[in-house]
Amino acid sequence: MVATRSWRRVGWTLAFAFSAGLAIRADDTGAATNSAPAPLVHPFLSTNSASSTFLQLHPDLAEPSTPPDASSLTLHPEAGATDAPPEVITPGAGMFPDTRPPLVNTDELASHLLVVYNRADPDSKGLAEYYAAKREIPAERVLAITCPVTEEITRAQFDDTIRSPILSYLTGKDWIARETRRVAVGNRILDLLVATRNDIWAIVLIRGVPLKIAPDPSDTDSMEYEPALQTNAAAVDSELALLPVFGLPKGGFVPNIFFDDQVSGIKRIGPDLARSMVLVTRLDGPKPSDVRRMIDDCLEAEQHRLAGRAVIDSRGLTDEKDGYTSGDDWLRNSRDLLVKDGWTVKFDDKPDLLPPTDPCNQVALYLGWYSETACGPWITLPKRFVPGAIAYHLHSYSAATIRSETEHWVGPLIAHGADATMGMVYEPYLALTPHEDIFTRRLLQGAYYAEAAYASEFALSWMLTVVGDPLYRPFRQPIDSALAEAGTPHTGHDDWVLLQKVQRELLAGEIPNTSDGLKQALEIPGAGPVAEEGLGDLLEKVNDASGAENAYQKALHADVVPVDSIRVGLKLAECYRGDGHRVRQQGELEYLWSRYPDDARRFAVPNPVVPDLLVPVNNATTPKPPGPPIPPPPRPAGLPQLPTPPKPTPYP
């Protein structure tokens, strides 16, 4: 797609000037009283072909001399940022997000949530009732509307069958009150209906409610000067987020007052914010069963704490003159945040996406870009995600549909086990997509899923759909509390929590980063293969090859899922190679082919017997030896004798 060369943020400021004697009808479109000024020239590129850096697009946010005036950023000045200074975290007690006071009241959002389903969809009501029962949402806050069952609708259909019924219901319940105000929007003056009170802070749309609003070329009124940004297409969720405000032009985007600019302090959900916007997510997916699983998995993960591997797939871009680099900057920042919180992070900075042959598994968080269609390990058996997993892939049309298991990204990610995701329904442009580093930071700070998603998104009335339980708080449970619930022997989840705690203690200097210190911390009663693999990784970093080999051997003979055994076996083979033990390396590879022949092919394990028959690994190929499989010889003598591993568990 051709990149635009300039853009204009007419909607950056929304300051009030009260007026007397004005009245507009609820169906009035509002009226601009002056014309748009000349554009500001900034590079602005498509996330479908090129992109531009955040600081290029927002030079006023790059190095501000003083924090922006809150009244210039919000419809309601008192709904602006807190006066909390930026956090300065030092090693020691309190350096990790869940060891500091929470940013949210753990029960507050649930009591201000509205559930909306579509009567016309046969599955929508049942899903709404299922969610409401699980989250203990009272019946009066479960609303049925009648709207089209298609994913794409017209602007008129959105106004008549979604926005108006919801607003009428809130008004009838006396949950919202509005009045007319004259509002400065950039250099325009608009007469708007704005909320003076709103008791609904969040809305969750249930599968069956349409996804996106098609562009309407007959309506040319826009918030923007730049033609590429004048579209009045939008995600239903993002448009509905402006439910408390009526009369804004349909074209262009409205700056999100909840966006975490990391300058003016952390913004809070609550009654002040709700008078300007609502956090809107959806529970949706290719099948109704996907939605039920998402609900159950998020509740399970929230109860015990989300834990697992993080995978970040960047493109390795570092040239700040390259418009794409800001996307990689966000991913690198996300990596750093996770590492500093003790996570095990697989970070890939190669230009290509991870291939389907990559044996990553037990993934709790995936962030990456950049492909139009889902690919790689995320759609390749076995399913790679743990319950409650959050996955987001940046692409312009990642959520063009949610109902497909094969098209774009959101639907396939959900179909293959992700329980929360986000995506763009039409071209958004890079700066107007979620900033993954902000999203990651807010999650780690204990935010609700809806809160983290909207804090990371600069634009409303735009292209983002947020798919997942808005009340989901993956890190509500502190790590010490989660570890206290660990059984003997550990589950994989228990091991992940232990590993994160140990890696935090290393960062804080609370345990020595030595072979003995690491073994003492991780080789505890009940620890399983995840802890042993993690120990092997850490011992390699302190150059204890013998200790790493022993840890990997223990993990290999305890794993029952082939993909995990393959991954650990490859690490062990590489460990042997690095230590100069070529015979042992070959023996380990032969063992993997002998024990897991199908998975050795699936995950491109080098075949030491017929190396020339291997096909180079890429996004589309795996090893394909011709003819019947060649049985590898037994493991060579001299390897440590370990108990016979359990029988592999077949994939579903």
Mean pLDDT over the full length of the chain = 81
Cis peptide before 489 (omega within 30 of 0): yes
Mean pLDDT, range 566-590, rounded to an integer: 93
**Domain assignment of residue 102, yes or no:** no
- Kindly report the backbone phi and psi dihedral angles of residue 484, in degrees, each rounded to the nearest multiple of 5, phi listed first: -65, -20
Q: Is the pLDDT of residue 584 over 60?
A: yes
Q: Is the pLDDT of residue 310 over 90?
A: yes
Q: What is the per-residue pLDDT for 29?
A: 33
**Domain assignment of residue 270, yes or no:** yes
**Domain assignment of residue 581, yes or no:** no
**Domain assignment of residue 168, yes or no:** yes
* pTM for this predicted structure: 0.82
Q: Is the pLDDT of residue 164 over 70?
A: yes
DSSP per-residue letters across 512-548? -SSHHHHHHHH--TT--HHHHHHHHHHHHHTT-HHHH
What pLDDT band is residue 63 in, cutting at 50, 70 and 90?
very low
Cis peptide before 382 (omega within 30 of 0): yes
Q: Is the pLDDT of residue 366 over 50?
A: yes
Q: What is the per-residue pLDDT for 226?
A: 80
The model's pLDDT over 116-160, given as tens digits with 9 standing for 90+, comes to: 999 999 999 999 999 999 999 999 999 999 999 999 999 999 999
Q: Is the pLDDT of residue 508 over 60?
A: yes
The model's pLDDT over 194-249, given as tens digits with 9 standing for 90+, comes to: 999 999 999 999 999 999 999 998 888 877 778 888 899 999 999 999 999 999 88
| Burial classification of residue 59, based on how many CB atoms lie within 10 Å of its CB (0-12 exposed, 13-18 middle, 19 or more buried) | exposed
The model's pLDDT over 33-56, given as tens digits with 9 standing for 90+, comes to: 333 333 322 333 344 432 333 333
Question: How far apart are alpha carbons 372 and 369 in whole angstroms?
Answer: 9
**Domain assignment of residue 413, yes or no:** yes
Long-range contacts of 477-482 (CB under 8 A, 24+ apart): 477/302, 477/303, 477/304, 477/305, 478/98, 478/99, 478/305, 479/96, 479/98, 479/305, 479/504, 481/305, 482/304, 482/305, 482/307
**Domain assignment of residue 621, yes or no:** no
- To the nearest 10 degrees (0 to 180), the angle between helices 288-304 and 124-135 is 10
* 530 vs 263 pLDDT, higher one: 530
8 A C-beta contact, residue 216 and residue 228: no
* 355 vs 51 pLDDT, higher one: 355
Mean pLDDT, range 176-194, rounded to an integer: 86
Question: How far apart are alpha carbons 552 and 568 in whole angstroms?
Answer: 6
Q: Is the pLDDT of residue 408 over 60?
A: yes
What pLDDT band is residue 493 in, cutting at 50, 70 and 90?
very high
Half-sphere exposure (CA, 13 Å, Cβ side) for 357? 19
Q: What is the per-residue pLDDT for 229?
A: 87
- Kindly report the backbone phi and psi dihedral angles of residue 79, in degrees, each rounded to the nearest multiple of 5, phi listed first: -95, 10
Element at 464 (helix H, strand E): strand 464-467
Segment among 98-102, 343-347, 435-439 with least mean pLDDT:
98-102
Q: Is the pLDDT of residue 409 over 90?
A: yes
8 A C-beta contact, residue 554 and residue 565: no
**Domain assignment of residue 195, yes or no:** yes
Q: What is the per-residue pLDDT for 100?
A: 59
Number of domains in the chain: 1
Segment among 177-191, 482-496, 557-571 with least mean pLDDT:
177-191
Give the residue numbers spanning the domain of 266: 109-301+400-467
**Domain assignment of residue 117, yes or no:** yes
Q: Is the pLDDT of residue 619 over 60?
A: no
Question: How far apart are alpha carbons 48 and 199 in whole angstroms?
Answer: 38
How crowded is residue 595: how many other Cβ atoms within 10 Å of its Cβ? 19
Half-sphere exposure (CA, 13 Å, Cβ side) for 353? 21
